[in-house]
Amino acid sequence: MDTFTGRFGAREIALGIAFGVLLGLLPKGNLLFVIVAILFFLSHANIIVGVLATLVISFVAPWLNPLADRIGREILVSVTGQQVIGNLFHIPAVSWTMLDNTVVLGMFLLGLVLFLPIFFVAWIPLKIILPKKKEQPLQSTPPETH
**CA atoms of 59 and 115, how far apart (whole Å):** 18
pLDDT in tens, 51-67: 999 999 999 999 999 99
Among 1-10, 44-53, 63-72, the range scoring the smallest mean pLDDT is 1-10
Please tell me the pTM assigned to this model.
Answer: 0.82
How many helices (H) and strands (E) the chain has is answered by 6, 0
CB contact set of 67 (below 8 Å; sequence gap of 6+): 106, 110
The pLDDT, as a whole number, for residue 3 is 43
Find the mean pLDDT for residues 72-78.
Answer: 94
pLDDT of residue 128: 87
Q: Which of 107, 5, 7, 98 is nearest to 54 (CA)?
A: 107
What pLDDT score does 2 carry? 45
Whether residue 135 has pLDDT greater than 70: no
* Distance, CA of 15 to CA of 12 (rounded, Å): 5
What is the rounded CA–CA span in Å between residue 4 and residue 132? 19
Looking at residue 146, what is its pLDDT?
Answer: 62
- 110: pLDDT strictly greater than 90: yes
Spatial CA neighbour of 20 closest among 51, 41, 66 = 51
Among residues 120, 131, 140, the alpha carbon closest in space to that of 14 is found at 120
